[in-house]
């Protein structure tokens, strides 16, 4: 899940109880109810100027459910026995998923040139040939597929390795798109031509040509819905590295520290975590040491 991003066309402040272009009004009390509910469900901290965004994202759900007010919608989500399924739809609407292949490419250069060679050396000394990886906010799949491409190319001449990637998100709709693994040309711009030729298959149909990820990459990845706010991460094996980028900037300090403590518990000794370009782990220097720009290692 890549959470809410600020829209440039939104004003910093809206009047209390404004009436949006959708025709639905969200008063201060309702905004606070949804702000607490969204934080509880996702960990996202909504600032005061996000009220219009909530209305614009959720107004269609109110119309489809024939509800007249946001308080009616809140009560349906939290009190109606059938509201559980709608809670997932609400989360899908309120989260924004921004991603691309090879985003923050220095991470994949480090993975290829430094982390994977050191992991191979350490694992082979221990008589192991298994890597376990987590893409913890995978959105529409570009991140875990880029990890899979990087790993597949690195291990092309190293046979007998068991490579698995867990890719998770809160949004069930983007997970379905990720699992499908089909991308339009505008999403494939950052993919080098030789990589496109090796790891993607043209999809028959009208031009411009869409491409599907090859089955061997898809088989490496398990896509699942997962909430980073849950208190325990029930993984059977320790993880070798984690990608969790551009998520924690929307968490408060307490939630960030709690999440990083849980990441620390599921990482192998000296396992690495990759975070977003504006994120830092300096508040948990007792858990992680700085390696390179937005790359940290478990202490």
Domain boundary among 43, 63, 96: 96
Same domain, yes or no: 35 and 81: yes
CB of 178 closer than 8 Å to CB of 141: yes
C-alpha torsion angle, residues 46, 175, 169, 288 (rounded to 10): -130
User: Does the annotation count 198 as an active-site position?
Assistant: no
Same domain, yes or no: 124 and 230: yes
Residue 144 belongs to some domain of the structure: yes
Residue 142 belongs to some domain of the structure: yes
* Distance in angstroms (rounded) separating the CA atoms of residues 106 and 250: 23
Domain boundary among 39, 67, 96: 96
> Going by DSSP bridges, is the β-strand pair 211-213/200-202 parallel, antiparallel, or unpaired?
antiparallel
Tokens (6 digits) for 272: 């690495």
User: Does the annotation count 113 as an active-site position?
Assistant: no
Low-confidence ranges of the chain (pLDDT < 50): 1-20
Question: How many other CB atoms are there within 10 angstroms of residue 234's CB atom?
Answer: 6
Domains contained in the chain, number:
2
Q: Classify each residue of 165-198 as buried b or exposed e, where b means 16 or more C-beta atoms within 10 Å of its C-beta.
A: bbbbbbbeebbebbbebebeeebbeebeeebeee
Specify the pLDDT at position 56.
Answer: 84
Residue 101 belongs to some domain of the structure: no
Residue 199 belongs to some domain of the structure: yes
CB of 294 closer than 8 Å to CB of 276: yes
Provide the edge-to-edge strand list for the sheet that holds 182-183. 182-183, 211-213, 200-202
- Please list, in sequence order, all residues whose beta carbon lies within 8 angstroms of the beta carbon of residue 120, skipping any fewer than 6 positions away: 158
Task: Please give the residue range of the domain that contains residue 240.
Answer: 106-298
Same domain, yes or no: 143 and 2: no
Provide the edge-to-edge strand list for the sheet that holds 162-169. 221-225, 162-169, 130-135, 239-243, 267-274, 295-298, 288-292
| Catalytic one of 35, 103, 132, 169 | 169
Same domain, yes or no: 92 and 116: no
Strand (E) positions, the chain?
A: 130-135, 162-169, 182-183, 200-202, 211-213, 221-225, 239-243, 267-274, 288-292, 295-298
Specify the pLDDT at position 96.
Answer: 66
pLDDT digits (tens, 9 = 90+) for 70-104: 999 999 999 988 888 888 888 878 776 678 999 99
Same domain, yes or no: 20 and 111: no
Residue 19 belongs to some domain of the structure: yes
**CATH code for the domain of 9:** 1.10.155.10
Same domain, yes or no: 208 and 228: yes
Residue 284 belongs to some domain of the structure: yes
| Catalytic one of 35, 57, 132, 245 | 57
Q: What does the radius of gyration of the chain's CA atoms come to, in whole angstroms?
A: 21
Question: How many other CB atoms are there within 10 angstroms of residue 60's CB atom?
Answer: 12
Same domain, yes or no: 137 and 53: no
Same domain, yes or no: 180 and 235: yes
CB of 169 closer than 8 Å to CB of 139: yes
Domain boundary among 96, 115, 145: 96
Residue 290 belongs to some domain of the structure: yes
Question: How many other CB atoms are there within 10 angstroms of residue 217's CB atom?
Answer: 21
Same domain, yes or no: 37 and 118: no
Same domain, yes or no: 262 and 166: yes
> Going by DSSP bridges, is the β-strand pair 295-298/267-274 parallel, antiparallel, or unpaired?
antiparallel
Same domain, yes or no: 75 and 150: no
Same domain, yes or no: 204 and 73: no
């Amino acid at each position: 899940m890549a959470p809410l991003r600020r829209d440039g066309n939104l004003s910093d402040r809206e009047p209390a109880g404004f009436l949006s272009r959708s025709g639905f009004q969200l008063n201060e009390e309702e905004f606070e109810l949804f702000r607490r509910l969204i934080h509880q469900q996702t960990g996202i901290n909504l600032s005061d100027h996000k009220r219009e965004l909530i209305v614009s994202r959720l107004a269609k759900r109110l119309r489809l459910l024939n509800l007249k007010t946001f308080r009616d919608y809140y009560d349906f989500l939290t009190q109606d026995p059938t509201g559980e399924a709608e809670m997932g739809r609400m989360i899908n609407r309120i989260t924004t998923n921004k991603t691309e292949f090879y985003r923050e490419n220095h991470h994949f250069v480090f993975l290829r040139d430094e982390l994977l060679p050191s992991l191979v050396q350490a694992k082979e000394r221990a008589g192991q040939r298994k890597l376990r990886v987590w893409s913890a906010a995978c959105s529409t799949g570009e991140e875990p597929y880029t990890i899979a491409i990087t790993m597949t190319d690195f291990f092309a001449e190293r046979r007998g390795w068991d490579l698995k990637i867990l890719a998770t998100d809160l949004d069930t709709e983007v997970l379905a798109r990720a699992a499908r693994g089909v991308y339009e040309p505008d999403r494939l711009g950052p993919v080098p031509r030789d990589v496109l030729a090796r790891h993607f298959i043209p999809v028959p149909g009208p031009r411009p040509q869409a491409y599907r990820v090859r089955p061997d990459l898809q088989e490496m990845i398990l896509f699942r819905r997962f909430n980073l706010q849950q208190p325990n991460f029930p993984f059977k094996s320790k993880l070798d590295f984690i990608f969790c980028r551009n998520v924690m900037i929307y968490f408060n300090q307490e939630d960030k520290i709690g999440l990083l403590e849980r990441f620390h518990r599921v990482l192998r000794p000296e396992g690495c975590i990759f975070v977003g370009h504006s994120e830092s782990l300096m508040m948990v220097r007792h858990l992680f040491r700085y390696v390179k720009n937005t790359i940290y290692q478990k202490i």
